[in-house]
Amino acid sequence: MVGRVKRKAGLAEAEAHAAREVPPPSCALCERPLGAKVEWHHLVPRSEGGRTTAPVHPICHRTIHATLPNAELARAYADPAVLRAHPAIARFLRWIADKPADFSAPVRRAR
């Protein structure tokens, strides 16, 4: 027999474990379904005091940081919708739209 406290602790632990295993449904940048690998992008970079994260594909994450410096991300691109409007990111999104979820390719710095 399990006591009330242990039963509650077990339920909370099981819920937390289940939440970690269920991947978020879509990428915050390209809005395609996420694959096996998921990275978490800080909408405002940690170096600029940001804490909020969003799930993204690794290639999307690399493209964001190859295209824009952290200071500019913090100042003008903290919202994924605004980030999608950036000309270089918009071009990337048109290119990546028909690729599979786990697609990977080298990313060049645009700076």
In a domain, 13, yes or no: no
In a domain, 46, yes or no: yes
Instruction: Count the domains in the chain.
Output: 1
**Cβ atoms of 51 and 35 closer than 8 Å:** no
- Residues 4-28, buried b or exposed e (16+ Cβ, 10 A)? eeeeeeeeeeeeeeeeeeeeeeebb
In a domain, 4, yes or no: no
**Cβ atoms of 89 and 73 closer than 8 Å:** no
In a domain, 11, yes or no: no
Reported as a single tens digit per residue, the pLDDT across 10-54 is 666 666 666 666 655 899 999 999 999 999 999 999 988 889 999
In a domain, 10, yes or no: no
In a domain, 9, yes or no: no
Q: Tokens 């979820």 correspond to what residue?
A: 101
Reported as a single tens digit per residue, the pLDDT across 42-77 is 999 998 888 999 999 999 999 999 999 999 999 999
**For residues 58 and 11, what is the distance between their CA atoms, to the nearest angstrom?**
32
- Against a cut of 0.85, is the pTM above it? no
Q: DSSP class of residue 40?
A: E
In a domain, 1, yes or no: no
In a domain, 12, yes or no: no
Q: What is the span of the domain harbouring residue 50?
A: 24-111
